[in-house]
Chains A and B, each alone.
Chain A
Amino acid sequence: MSKPDLTEKLNVIARSPFELYFEGEAVAISASNRIGDFDILPGHADFFSMLSPGEITIQKIDGDPVKIDAKSGIVTVRDNQAYLFVNM
């Protein structure tokens, strides 16, 4: 079993139709969907999910996390590139 690459980062774009919440590198995204709460870390499998209403947290490399109050949304992850489409 290969060890996770701790130097990997997620590239995240989080936006609503009229607002760009965050664009940049992050170490984790926390959100929830119909199944429950989940975290996305670097190296996550390809993932496509509808989001449940609630708070989305993007843990940046440094500084305070970005918190988004989402009423609805979709998250998609592939090759450490994550897109969060919220409040559509």
Chain B
Amino acid sequence: MRRPGIIEKEMGSIGTLKDLTGVFESLASTQVAKVKDKVLLSQAFFDLLWQRYTALRVDPKKRITNREGVGSNGRNVHVLISAEAGLSGDLDMRMIETMQADYDPSTTDIVVLGSHGASQLSQRGIPYIKFFQLPETDKYINVNPVVDVIRPYEKITVYYEEYLSLGQQEVRSINLVTTIQSMSEDAEEDVMTADDTIFEPSLDEIADEMEASMMSLALSQTILQSGLAQAASRFNAMTVAEDRAGDLLAEYKLEYHRSKRSESDRRLREVLVGIKKKRRERAAS
């Protein structure tokens, strides 16, 4: 049995670990609340923008899929939105496994957002053509560089993590172009034409600008969704780690008390043996 002093020292370290995981747990919980608000705000913005876009006399399905440069290289791209750092449970690994099921290197390239996903891909020997660092979620997400890279691809599939609840996060994949088209299909059509509306500079340029914005917004939405799911996953991982540290601490306490008792028993035995020895010596003399 280990000595009580050593066990006490280890108990101190586990106590610190438990406190730390507790802090991470509450940080993750704050992050969940913060990102959730952003997801709602961004969705409301997208819905309103789409409503105004559909008011233009253009066929959104035809225009968005036929944008200049879209689909020009004839290949597919998988966009993986992972966490920027670790401590987010097994969510990124699950996402990569899901992506692998549909991955054919001869027809498909991979673009990865987030350092954690990039390192996971490298560990598995899966090549990616471009890596982007994810911005802090409380800052403006400029996805234009990502959009520029993925625009030439025929099919753009985005893999991301969806927040269902604090205890449940799922890996999802979407086709970016069809998603933009269907995100607000029920939007009211309140047509504005050149006959009754002043367009500056022109209807086409405005439609182009709005489509580019919507593509960026749709991608930003998935980044936010992933951030939310990762924060929730981190919260769960930290809750489990804190519980585990608590259990470990209880086990160590038990071992410590046993060790203390055994040490005092050993001392008592030594004293008794000493007394018996003395008695025997006295009796012999």
Contacts and interface: CB of A to CB of B under 8 A. Distances in A.
Interface stretch (A2-10, A17-25, A53-61): A17-25
B127 to A, nearest CB: 33
Interface in A29-49: 33-35, 45-49
A51 to B, nearest CB: 10
Contact of A46 (B42, B197, B206, B209): B197
A50 interface: yes
A17 B41 contact: yes
Contact of A45 (B48, B198, B205): B198
A88 B206 contact: no
Contact of A74 (B38, B46, B196, B209): B209
A34 B201 contact: yes
Contacts of A18: 38, 41-42, 45, 140
A76 B52 contact: yes
B45 A15 contact: yes
Given A48-B197, A49-B199, A50-B209, 11 more contacts: A17-B140, A35-B201, A46-B197, A48-B200, A74-B52, A74-B206, A74-B209, A76-B55, A78-B197, A85-B48, A85-B49
Contacts of A88: 49, 213, 216-217
A13 interface: yes
A50 B38 contact: no
B48 A48 contact: no
Interface residues of B, number: 29
Interface majority SS (helix, strand, loop, mixed), chain B: helix
B187 to A, nearest CB: 13
A87 B140 contact: yes
Contacts of A46: 192, 196-198
Closest 3 CB pairs of A and B: A46-B197, A49-B200, A88-B213
Interface in B190-221: 190, 192, 196-201, 203, 205-206, 209-210, 213, 216-217, 220
Interface of A: 13, 15-20, 33-35, 45-50, 74, 76, 78, 83, 85, 87-88
Interface of B: 38, 41-42, 44-46, 48-49, 52, 55-56, 140, 190, 192, 196-201, 203, 205-206, 209-210, 213, 216-217, 220
A17 B45 contact: yes
A52 to B, nearest CB: 10
Contacts of A85: 45, 48-49, 52, 213
B200 A35 contact: yes
Nearest to A88: B213
B197 A50 contact: no
Given A34-B200, A48-B199, A78 B190 contact: yes
Nearest to B212: A88
Contacts of A19: 41
Given A48-B192, A74-B209, A85-B45, A17 B200 contact: no
Tell me which of B38, B196, B200, B210 has the highest count of chain A C-beta atoms within 10 A of its own C-beta: B200
B192 A50 contact: no
A77 to B, nearest CB: 9
Contact of B206 (A13, A20, A35, A50): A50
